[in-house]
Amino acid sequence: MPEQPRLRRTSIAIIVLASVIAFFAVFAVWAKRQVLETNTWTETSTELLANKDVQGALNTFLVDALFKEVNVEHQIKKALPDNLGMAYVFLPHLDPSRESAFREILSRSTSMQVFEVERGMRIAPDNVYVIPRNCEMTISKGELIINERKAQRSVHLTVDIFLRSLAAELG
């Protein structure tokens, strides 16, 4: 007879375990449908990202997180030797509606001169050039040419435009 209580406890344990597994399986299917197989996530995230307050908060959070996790100034100093006789051009993806601290960060990180590009600026070795916000830039005859973006697009081709002009410049 002692076998019966142990068999009963084992049966109960198996039933409880099967119930827990079934619950998580049902939950996983439900979560997958809610998050991955519907437009709810896309619609919600699109609405949130269209909100200027959310964009600002997200930008601030991401920049703060980056600076907490990475010693940006050290990484730039390590990656940008200042005596190679080269000019460095930075085309960061900047929010067109907000001022950027990118030039100031680079200035603290290198002994080279760091410029925000202005119309007609000529490129020179051992200098750093940063594109202004809401601009596209090309190079022609050693001169950096900036133009304000004509229209807001979902995808900006700032880097493509600059590299095409650089390829044409270099032949």
Note if the pTM is more than 0.85: no
The CATH architecture assigned to 83-170 reads 3-Layer(aba) Sandwich (3.40)
CB of 90 within 8 A of CB of 102? yes
Q: Note the helical H segments in 36-94.
A: 40-50, 52-69, 72-79
CB of 109 within 8 A of CB of 76? yes
Confidence of residue 48 (pLDDT cuts 50, 70, 90): confident
Q: Report pLDDT digits (tens) over 51-69.
A: 888 777 777 777 666 666 6
Please tell me what DSSP assigns to residue 134: T
Ranges of each domain in the chain: 3-38, 83-170
Distance in angstroms (rounded) separating the CA atoms of residues 82 and 125 = 9
